[in-house]
Structure 1
Amino acid sequence: MLPKHDVCGEPLYTPKIIFKEQGETKYETTDPYVWCRKCKKYVEVEVTQK
């Protein structure tokens, strides 16, 4: 289930997960901004861990 943009109701794509490598450690970060096709801009979403 994709989150919906509150303003227009367009389904939003899930935030991309970026792996940052520092030495041997990989850090997993989620981008809280997703692209809304209807509004043609990035919108901030609540990132929830599953």
Structure 2
Amino acid sequence: MSKRKVSVEDKIYAVNLYLDGKESQRRIADMFDVSLASVQQWIRNYESMNL
């Protein structure tokens, strides 16, 4: 299975959609054609960098 390459800018946009309560993690995964686990990892990475 090939991985879908998502830019850093798109990941930040996606994380902000979730943190702002505008989209669910599942919906974001569908929007960017990635796994739910990927979205959850983006959120963890973002939160660890922005404490």
Greater length-normalized contact order (CA 8 Å, ≥ 6 residues apart): 2
Larger Rg: 1
Q: TM-score, normalised by structure 1?
A: 0.29
After TM superposition, the score normalised by the length of structure 2 is: 0.29
User: In proportion to residue count, which structure has more strand?
Assistant: 1
